[in-house]
């Protein structure tokens, strides 16, 4: 009797973690810190969830994942990621041919030992971008955390592919930061130095928006450049990578002809607020206080005007 009671309790805890993950992921998308747009091919992922022991239960408050049985092998997780993006990659395969040579593109910013460019639209680099953003924004779970992380990373990658496929090149860009010069470590080979140079250390998304609740804070602007998904690899934090990424966003704004940069941050995230304030952003509004009553963190809206944009 005690054994079955313990099993039931463990399963209930697992279900509780999965439901919390689903709710937190929904709140995360709504926060616009990283505006996920999940493509229609997610239906394929839902089919895989059912096949591997997950069912999706719909109700008035949305959909909730219910665990029937955990996956048995790590290979299943990798297959989920591959199949999530399979349809997008088929449609983009012709346009991705020959993109490797674009890695020699002109860099937007070179400063503090880092350089920033637009992401190359090839699968290896897109996976690196998804890894960095997933590690930065994933909330650890008490059970099945590795599986939840792989699932979260698959959603990040699917959202990236969707935005690339459905956005004009002058209205969305994913920017990546990498070391500005080869590592001079004694004993390192030329190939090792080149590999270190091509390592991605940070990413950020920039998207042209025109939200009605933001435009009143921007004098005379009809659209603006929204910054989201800024993430830096753990080993390279506090080394000015985020600062260089923000400067690259300014360069994109000038190239595209937008006068305002806009971003959101959590009110209690003092590290992010300090970073954005140092970069010239100012707080123009806050979420209403009642959002805290429904379990959401309060956000601030910050803007920066670029005087050199006509």
Q: What's the whole-number mean pLDDT along residues 249-273?
A: 96
Alpha-carbon distances, residue 148 vs 142, 155, 220 (angstroms): 10, 11, 44
Question: Reading across the β-sheet that carries 299-305, which strands appear in turn?
Answer: 109-111, 114-118, 172-179, 202-209, 224-232, 260-266, 299-305, 282-286
* Least confident residue range of 62-71, 269-278, 279-288, 300-309: 62-71
Q: Are 247 and 75 in contact (CB under 8 A)?
A: no
The mean-pLDDT minimum among 44-58, 138-152, 185-199, 240-254 falls in 44-58
| C-alpha span between 201 and 242 (Å, rounded) | 10
Backbone angles phi, psi at 202, to 5 degrees: -170, 155
Contact 244, 265 (CB under 8 A): no
Long-range contacts of 271-280 (CB under 8 A, 24+ apart): 273/300, 275/242, 275/243, 275/246, 276/246, 276/302, 278/243, 279/243, 279/246, 279/247, 279/304, 280/304
The Cα 251–Cα 184 span in angstroms is: 29
Which position among 162, 258, 276, 308 bears the catalytic label? Answer: 276
Active-site residue flag, 172: no
Q: Name the CATH superfamily housing domain 2-87+100-305.
A: Gcn5-related N-acetyltransferase (GNAT) (3.40.630.30)
| Residues 229, 204 contacting (CB under 8 angstroms) | yes
Average confidence (pLDDT) over 163-180: 95
What are the tens digits of pLDDT across the range 213-245? 999 999 999 999 999 999 999 999 999 999 999
Tell me if residue 234 falls in helix, strand or coil: helix
0.75 exceeded by pTM = no
What residues contact residue 153 under an 8 Å CB cut-off, 6+ apart?
A: 81, 130, 131, 134, 138
3-class DSSP assignment, residue 141: coil
Instruction: Assign 100 a pLDDT band (cuts: 50, 70, 90).
Output: very low
Ranking 43-57, 124-138, 141-155, 257-271 by mean pLDDT, the lowest is 43-57
Encoding tokens for residue 93? 């395969």
Domains of the chain: which residue ranges?
2-87+100-305
């Amino acid at each position: 009797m005690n054994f079955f009671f313990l099993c039931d309790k463990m399963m209930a805890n697992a279900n509780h973690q999965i439901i919390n993950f689903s709710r937190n992921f929904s709140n995360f998308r709504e926060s616009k810190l990283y505006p996920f747009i999940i493509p229609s091919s997610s239906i394929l992922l839902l089919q895989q969830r059912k096949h591997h022991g997950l069912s999706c239960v719909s109700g008035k408050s949305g959909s909730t994942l219910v665990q029937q049985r955990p996956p048995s092998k790590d290979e299943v997780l990798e297959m989920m990621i591959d199949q999530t993006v399979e349809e997008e990659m088929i449609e983009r395969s012709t346009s991705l041919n020959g993109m490797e040579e674009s890695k020699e593109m002109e860099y937007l910013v070179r400063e503090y030992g880092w350089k920033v460019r637009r992401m190359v639209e090839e699968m290896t680099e897109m996976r690196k971008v998804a890894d960095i953003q997933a590690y930065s924004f994933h909330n650890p779970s008490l059970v099945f955390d590795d599986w939840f992380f792989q699932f979260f990373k698959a959603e990040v990658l699917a959202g990236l592919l969707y935005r690339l496929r459905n956005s004009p090149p002058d209205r969305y860009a994913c920017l990546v930061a990498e070391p500005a010069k080869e590592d001079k470590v004694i004993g390192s080979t030329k190939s090792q130095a080149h590999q270190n140079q091509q390592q991605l250390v940070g990413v950020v998304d920039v998207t042209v928006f025109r939200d009605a609740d933001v435009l009143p804070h921007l004098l005379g602007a009809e659209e603006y450049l929204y910054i989201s998904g800024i993430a830096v690899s753990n080993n390279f934090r506090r080394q000015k990578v985020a600062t260089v990424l923000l400067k690259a966003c300014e360069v994109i704004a000038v190239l595209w002809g937008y006068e305002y940069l806009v971003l959101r941050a959590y009110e209690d995230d003092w590290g992010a607020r300090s970073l954005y304030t140092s970069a010239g952003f100012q707080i123009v509004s806050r979420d209403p206080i009642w959002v805290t009553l429904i379990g959401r963190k309060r956000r601030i809206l910050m803007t920066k005007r670029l005087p050199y944009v006509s």
